[in-house]
Amino acid sequence: MTRWLAEYAWLPEHAEPTPDVLIEAEDGRITAVAPLTGGGRPTAGVEVLRDAARLPGLTLPGLANAHSHAFHRALRGRTHGGRGDFWSWRDVMYDVAGRLDPDSYLALARAAYAEMALAGVTCVGEFHYLHHGPGGQPYDDPNAMSAALVEAAAQAGIRLTLLDTAYLTASVDGAPLQGPQRRFGDGDALRWAARVDAYRPENGHARLGAAIHSVRAVPAEQLATVAGWADRNGVPLHVHLSEQPAENDACRAVHGCTPTRLLADHGALGPHTTAIHATHPTSADVTLLGESRTRVCLCPTTERDLADGIGPARRLAEAGSPVSLGSDSHAVIDLFEEARAVELDERLRTRKRGHFTAAELLAAATVGGHAALGWGDAGRLAVGDRADLVTVRLDTARTAGVPPVGAFFAATAADVSHVVVDGKQVVADGRHLTVDVPAELRAAIAAVTA
């Protein structure tokens, strides 16, 4: 039994944090959540408070980063040459992708996931498409790159959903993969499924999911193969959707419909599907996504870095699509920044304030993301849920004087002090307990960049 006494804790369905909450956990699960004021009592009497570890600040449930490409962490700050257009970004991305092997991928992902742990991320969804060796030649173990990611998350101390991604063609009209893209491809969706079927993460910290890279990368007649595989295996299905208008235009030109309509017609939408970005849906697309209860994962810091645009977050949520968040290209790894950007970008777009409550932003960063990744028992400070605790200091230069309910509009990843994942402490006093994060990031990035 482990006990903590949180100065403030944000409990499920509460509009704002509650002061003085005793939290107990055993075998990685929360066994008691007891506010000490307002009638609550610790299960073993007040004397247990003596051995409860104090958590000064605001304690949140674990944050879920629902969309990650771990190797993009090596691109941070390197894609702005000249003025930094989309092509300068993609050239560096392909260059790094071309250099990785299972060992360097493990080192880079371990450092990136440890940075996430420092930021309060307890679970990551890795949208993984770098499957094969140079030229597309499979490794002796065709899932060696998957295994590297699963091991990286274990070493960084966080959970992972490996969203094994089908990436088969270079464009909507079926052009073959070229150059570094050839490492992404399995040939066709049946061969993708055969490779994925041959791999299951061994350790309880990782689960499998499926992904369609985009309607550009999986031919229409093969979408149902990937969606059906996810459905049969009862795992989440993720897909990049309408990130840029060019994707919509190309899909209309080839298929006569939007990417959302194409996915709907091939059975790829529904409550187990998460659409990544959904930046440029039509009104009919928003209705299709909402009525099918398809989830949406917004990645505002990447969408701004890549000049994608601002998605209709409020309209998607109101249509029926639960919202989650991802740091995607890792230009920034800070779920507080992603969360407040959902509200602040809507303000810029509409020139009106007040679209999402703080509790809705918290839900997107926690329970919404965990649900999108297939962990329905995480993301809430509630009895029976996984014991994930993320404590944010309220006494830093950024957060001093801020009321706890305002944390999502003031705190940064650097204000996270303590992180517990499945009952195990991973971060204490702002330090990762097993990984020297800056040193490992520096070394891992140097190894795969020119």
Active-site residue set: 277, 328
Cβ closest to Zn ion, residue 328 vs residue 415:
328
Compute the distance between CA of residue 371 and CA of residue 361 in angstroms, rounded to an integer: 15
Q: Which residue has the tokens 């371990």?
A: 110
Cβ closest to Zn ion, residue 129 vs residue 356:
129
* Contact (Cβ atoms closer than 8 angstroms) between residue 125 and residue 209: yes
Q: Which amino acid is at 340?
A: R
At closest approach, how far in Å is the CB of 240 from Zn ion? 6
Q: Which residue has the tokens 């809705």?
A: 360
Compute the distance between CA of residue 360 and CA of residue 434 in angstroms, rounded to an integer: 33
Bridge partners (DSSP) of residue 379 are none
Q: Which amino acid is at 235?
A: V
Cβ closest to Zn ion, residue 172 vs residue 381:
172
At closest approach, how far in Å is the CB of 301 from Zn ion? 12
At closest approach, how far in Å is the CB of 73 from Zn ion? 13
Residue in 29, 67, 121, 124 with CA at minimum distance from that of residue 377: 29
Q: Which residue has the tokens 């190797």?
A: 71
At closest approach, how far in Å is the CB of 261 from Zn ion? 21
Strands of the 424-428 sheet, one edge to the other = 29-35, 18-26, 2-9, 53-61, 389-392, 416-421, 424-428, 431-432
The DSSP 8-state label assigned to residue 234 in this structure reads: T
Where does this chain bind Zn ion (CB under 5 A)? Answer: 328
Based on C-alpha coordinates, what's the Rg of the chain? 21
Bridge partners (DSSP) of residue 166 are 212
Position with the least CB separation from Zn ion: 328
How many angstroms from the chain centroid is the CA of residue 381?
A: 19
At closest approach, how far in Å is the CB of 67 from Zn ion? 6
At closest approach, how far in Å is the CB of 68 from Zn ion? 8
How buried is residue 149: exposed, middle or buried, by Cβ count under 10 Å (0-12/13-18/19+)?
Answer: buried
At closest approach, how far in Å is the CB of 221 from Zn ion? 24
Quote the Cα angle for 162-167-170, to 5°.
Answer: 150
Cβ closest to Zn ion, residue 160 vs residue 410:
160
How many angstroms from the chain centroid is the CA of residue 323?
A: 12
Cβ closest to Zn ion, residue 24 vs residue 328:
328
Cβ closest to Zn ion, residue 272 vs residue 330:
330
Q: Output the six-digit token pair for 255.
A: 């298929």
DSSP 3-state of 121: strand
Strands of the 295-298 sheet, one edge to the other = 63-68, 121-128, 159-166, 206-212, 237-241, 273-277, 295-298, 323-325
Cβ closest to Zn ion, residue 298 vs residue 411:
298
